[in-house]
Amino acid sequence: MSAYVLKRLLLLLPVLFGVSLVVFGVMSLVPGDPALAILGPYATPERLAELRAELGLDRRWPVRYGIWLSGVLDGDLGRSVSLERPVLDVVLERLGPTALLAGSALLLGTLLGLAAGMLAALRHNQMTDRLVTFGVLLGISIPSFWLGLVLILVFAVWLGWLPASGMTWVWSDASGLSAVPDIAWHLILPTLSLALVAGGVIGRLTRGAAIDVLASAPIRMARARGIPERRILLVQALKSVLARMTPVIGLQAGFVIGGAVYIETIFQWPGLGRLLVEAIAARDLLLVQGGVLVLAAAYVLVNLVADLAQHALDRRTRAA
């Protein structure tokens, strides 16, 4: 088991290397650079050349990549030219909010999806099933950024119940534990925007998995042995469904992490996704690089956890 984990963790290295190489290459191919973004209309070729030299942009990209890579091995992700700060500091600062948003969206999406899927499977081909399936289909089809805008419109602009954007009240001094209610309040709308979509996908696949599981031999056997229906559903069936759904949930983690890019922009959530959008606009290559690496690593790790969870659940299912 630990050998498996170690192997998967080691595989992370070539993945990150590949991702960094691709990002670096693509960003170097895109026209425009930070020197131009900084100077704007004042960018004469002469001044550009000066600023480029000062920022180290005058070297060819493989050389810059080499310099960057050797820095990374020393734990230095370089310096952001658009924010005038070390990339590592910025990325770590923004990682927390993204983890919070993606985590709560994945949790809520999973709960909603599992509940809806199980319910639909239990009422297979009845009215409830059709209603749930319709709702789930809506969830899958609605783009989450659009949903986000509608939620802002309804709950912030019309009703005034929830804040339109941000992570805390900007005028509040609350920090640490005292900021928790603030953050929870701001978390509701962006979480819903991501969770309803992720939940739709999970719900749809849960329904199929649950129908299979409910018709399977162990469940029929359990029923025949007179085990109470509630216990069958909540313990045995749910476990099997979960085991099948874990990889899907892992993949949905990819969706919420990716979705964070635009949901964070719409809700002005101070996370990595919004940082990336701003960094790309400013052609801040090292910042893009740092942000993408962290997101890619998070994605790989979440999927590793999902695989491990499935492994664990499977064995228990087999034992049962």
Partner 1 sequence: MLALLHKQSAGSNQRWRRLIACGPEQPGVLFGVAVLVGLALLVTGCERMRPPSDTLVVAQVAEPRSLDPQVTTALNDFRILVNLFEGLVRYQPGTLEPAPALAESWQISDDGRVYTFKLKDGVRFHDGSRFDAEAVRFNFQRMLDPEHPYHDTGPFPLAFFFETVASIEVLDRLTVRFRLDQPFAPFLSNLAYPAGLIVSPTAVKRWGDQVGRHPSGTGPFRFVDWRPGERVRLERFAADHLASNRSLREEQAQPLAGLQCDSGRASVRTLIFRPITDPMTRVAELLAGGVDLALELSPDNVARFRERDGFQVLEATGPHLWFLILNTREGPLSDVRVRRAVNLAIDRQVITDDVLRKTAVPAAGPVPEAFDWANNPELRPYRQDRPAARRLLAEAGYENGLRLRFLVPRGGSGMLDPLAMATAIQGDLGRIGVDAEIRSFEWNAYLARVNQGLDTEADMAEMAWMTNDPDTLPYLALRCDASPEQGGFNSGYYCSRRVDALIAQARRATDRDERARLYHQLEREVHQDVPWAVIASWRQNLVASAEVSGLQLEPSFYLRLGAVTKQGCASGTDSQ
Residue ranges in contact with partner 1 by CB under 8 A: 30-33, 36-47, 51, 54-55, 82-85, 90, 93-94, 97, 149, 152-153, 156-161, 163-172, 180-182, 184-185, 188, 265-268, 270-271, 274-275, 277-278, 283
Q: Which is nearer to partner 1, 102 or 205 (CB)?
A: 102
Closest distance of CB 71 from partner 1, Å: 18
Cα torsion angle, 278, 280, 286, 290, sign: positive
Q: Which is nearer to partner 1, 246 or 265 (CB)?
A: 265
Angle at 8 between CA 6 and CA 13, to 5 degrees: 100
Neighbour tally for 13: CB within 10 Å: 9
Closest distance of CB 168 from partner 1, Å: 7
Q: Which is nearer to partner 1, 129 or 182 (CB)?
A: 182
Compute CA 13 distance to the chain's CA centroid, rounded to the nearest angstrom.
Answer: 20
Cβ atoms of 250 and 303 closer than 8 Å: yes
Q: Which is nearer to partner 1, 108 or 121 (CB)?
A: 108
How far is 63 from 228, CA to CA, in rounded Å? 68
Closest distance of CB 286 from partner 1, Å: 15
Closest distance of CB 278 from partner 1, Å: 6
Closest distance of CB 265 from partner 1, Å: 5
Q: Which is nearer to partner 1, 33 or 240 (CB)?
A: 33
* SS percent in the chain: helix, strand, coil, step 5: 80, 0, 20
Closest distance of CB 272 from partner 1, Å: 10
Cβ atoms of 272 and 291 closer than 8 Å: yes
- The tokens of 96 are what? 């927390």
Is 80 strand, coil or helix?
strand
- The tokens of 41 are what? 């209309």
User: DSSP H helical segments within 76-179, as ranges?
Assistant: 87-122, 127-141, 144-151
- The tokens of 237 are what? 């069936």
Q: Which is nearer to partner 1, 43 or 251 (CB)?
A: 43
- The tokens of 184 are what? 């929870």
Closest distance of CB 48 from partner 1, Å: 8
